[in-house]
Amino acid sequence: MTDYNLRDRFLNVLKGKAVDRAPVLSVTQTGTVSLMEKCGAFWPEAHSNPEKMAALSLAAHEITRLEAVRYPYCVTVLSEAMGCKVSRGTKETQPYVTFPPLGNSGELPEIPYSLLEKGRIPTVLEATALLKNKTEGTLPLIVGIESPAALCSRLLGAGNYLRQLLKSPDYIRECLEINTDACIEYANALFEEGVDAVCVPDGISGPDLLNLEIFDLLIKPAYRRFCKKVKGPKILHMCGDASPFLGTLSECGFEGISVEEKVRDLKSAKKNLGNGICLIGNVSSSSTLLCGSREDVKEEARKALEGGVDILAPGCGIAPMTPLENMKALVEARDEYYGSVFSCFEDCKSKCYESKSYGSGCHESKYRESESYESKCYEPEY
């Protein structure tokens, strides 16, 4: 019998296959000041130095035991390559756009010649090569990239972008088509370099800002084309309460959907996504991981697992000042949760053998009654 490595487990979950336990990782940013101090790779240098980018992302696994390597630490890499001016931030703050090149000019974005050589894209590609060599196929590599809509909001400015969605939808559609081409080119280059999944954080397209009609008219076609053309697993992280959009998101082509803690009914969320789409989340990054106790983290993680998440993860990017002990508690919570499930399962099997009723379905019935059987009680697929 061969054990899963962490990469196998992650990829199998995204494929909808049964695994022995839910992975625990972050599909959003993982760089914290404590990790920087432990590994010696600090922001802002780690945003543009491939060795430091690789070291800091790997530290999240080596020090906290999170089961993936996720980088970079912002969603401005493609924006910068497309012409945005970007501040690299500080040790405690992420990079951010300081000047949107298109503004309200009405001009269309232009994909620069040799896009993959622009800005920090070469840094991310080189960090990927370094990490692939270091991890030797045992850890999943996840890279965050802008969505076509997020890229649009950075090129035009967020306020102008939202106004133009209503005033000039045809113009926004053209912008999104061009941006989708850029996102596809960058994502496929990442997969060619050895990335296992891309995560697309989108804080500009959720129900907090858009209604479903606008989303389906303008954003959904861009998502669908992106998913169709990108040659590897794709995860969408939707900020805010994504619940009203989960049905339509399930039709876009993402293998996984990551949600915030604002999505409170995870069982309904899982049902709305349907079979074959991985639900990821949703321990609060701000109120729990950053400000809560270890026990707060474990309690919220347990509720997420009971709710049916396929991957246990923070509900958004991990805040830079998050304590290491709380990040470790996320992994411990998953281990404790499955340890109790498997212990209960083994005890049930033992009682069945003693009563000569093993195989009659008594242990299966027990777990179906608790609504936990399908997600936690099965023979691992090796």
Spatial distance between the Cα atoms of 131 and 307, rounded to a whole number of angstroms: 33
- Helix, strand, or coil here: 376? helix
The boundaries of the domain holding residue 62 are 16-333
Predicted local confidence at residue 341, as pLDDT: 52
Does any domain span residue 3?
A: no
**The CATH number of the domain where 111 resides is what?**
3.20.20.210
Q: Is residue 367 part of a domain?
A: no
Instruction: Report pLDDT for 4.
Output: 74
The backbone region for 274, taken as left when phi is positive above 0, alpha when psi lies in -120 to 50, beta otherwise, is left
3-state class percentages of the chain: helix first, strand second, coil last, to nearest 5:
50, 10, 40
pTM of the model: 0.89
Q: Is 35 inside a domain boundary? A: yes
Whether 282 maps to a domain, the answer reads yes
Q: Looking at residue 278, what is its pLDDT?
A: 98
Please state, rounded to an integer, the average pLDDT across all residues of the chain: 90
Q: How many domains does the chain have?
A: 1
- What's the token pair of residue 15? 């494929």
Does the residue 359 lie in any domain?
no
Residue 366 lies in a domain: no
- Residue 239, in any domain of the structure: yes
Rounded to whole angstroms, the Cα distance separating 258 from 281 reads 6
Evaluate whether residue 347 is within a structural domain: no
Residue 348: the pLDDT is 46
Residues of the chain short of pLDDT 70, as ranges, are 1-3, 340-382
